[in-house]
Structure 1
Amino acid sequence: MLVEQAIALIANGAPKDQVAERVGDALEAPHKEGVDLNLVRQALDVVERTGPQEASLQEARGLLLRSLDGNLPSAPKAGHLVTGTETGTSVVLDEFRPARGIADSGDAPLFALSLLAIAVGLWLSVRLRPGYSIRELKRRTAADEDGEGRKR
């Protein structure tokens, strides 16, 4: 479980010291069945070495995943229904960080097309507008009727 928690910390952008602490706890845990301790030690060395944090944490994540050999403790058992807070999956995804602004070559043409659609819509609204307004129609109707509501 501690190795899986370390993987989740990496996926959620935790600092190196928190990840190193969790991996160290995994090495000192009393029950170490189902985990390749050599790979966990290598992951701890990778986390503790100096260098860029993101690259070393991703390398450590790969080592930790291999140490479990695909047998994550939180994975649902066959025939066991998922209930409550269980997600029914053992996949730990990276944090989703969408790009902001115009990020690639496809965004600029879409932005230009949306501006063109707005401009064409405004032009059509002025071009196809009737020559009279509702206020003018009400005035004409009131002038056509006498005071009793009958037409002249």
Structure 2
Amino acid sequence: MSALLLVGVLSGSARADEEESDQASVLAEQAISLIANDAGDARVAERIDDALMAPEKEGVDLALVRQALDVVERPGRTEAADERAEALLLDALGGKLPSAPKTGTFATGTETGTSTVLGEFRPARGVSDTGDAVLLGLAGAATVGGLWLSHRLRPPHTIRQLEHTTAEEVER
């Protein structure tokens, strides 16, 4: 019982339900991340709305943030609209993310030391192009060739019968 209580007490610092930021710049950056990772229009619009309502609005052009919200809330989501909203939010931040590392300083604490927002990684499944087909064919040929060589070059199976020989027979 004490072990469970100890785990519960010590894990409190790692909980993810912390309060939302009150800085519009941080919320706009989070909206950019949500767009890049296809989080859905509702979540992106909510985060942009939070950025518009945030008490600390310095460093953010709210007119561009409103335009980004209009782009996200339009029906018929497209990749071009996502790119437009992301560009508007980045322009609203002055072209630089607030989490971008400052030159000449080391990343500490929860800082990552980068300001790159990567899109969601979706690798192709199965044979998607001729390069994959060629690689699959070469792998099959190597397997068939290896099986054929192992059969062709195997040593002959000889059965030797052990016989009891006496010392006199061995000397002959």
Give your verdict on TM over 0.5: yes
Select 2:140's aligned residue among 95, 115, 119: 115
1:13 correspondence with 2:38: yes
1:47 correspondence with 2:72: yes
Where do residues 101-140 of structure 1 align in structure 2 (5 Å cutoff)?
101-132=126-157, 136=159, 139=160
Select 2:85's aligned residue among 52, 60, 80: 60
1:85 correspondence with 2:110: yes
Q: 2:63 is matched by which residue type in structure 1?
A: N
Q: Which runs of 5+ in 2 are unaligned?
A: 1-25
Give, in whole Å, the separation in 1 of the partners of 2:107 and 2:114.
9
* CA drift at 1:145: 6.5
Give, in whole Å, the separation in 2 of the partners of 1:74 and 1:49.
29
Measured against aligned partners, the alpha-carbon deviations of 1:84-111 in whole angstroms (never above 9, x if no partner) come to 4321001101011100001112111111
Instruction: State the Cα RMSD in Å.
Output: 2.3
Select 1:95's aligned residue among 102, 116, 120: 120
**Matched residues, percent identical?**
60
1:22 correspondence with 2:47: yes
Give runs of ≥4 in structure 1 deviating > 2 Å.
Answer: 52-59, 83-86, 144-147
* CA drift at 1:70: 2.4
Measured against aligned partners, the alpha-carbon deviations of 1:15-39 in whole angstroms (never above 9, x if no partner) come to 1111101101111222222222221
Q: 1:61 is matched by which residue type in structure 2?
A: E
Give, in whole Å, the separation in 1 of the partners of 2:110 and 2:99.
12
The answer on whether the counterparts of 1:16 and 1:53 sit within 8 Å (CA) in structure 2 is no
Give, in whole Å, the separation in 1 of the partners of 2:108 and 2:64.
33
Q: Which runs of 5+ in 1 are unaligned?
A: none
Aligned to 2:6: none
Secondary structure in 1 matching 2:34: helix
Q: What number of residue pairs does the alignment pair up?
A: 144
Normalising to structure 1: TM-score of the pair?
0.83
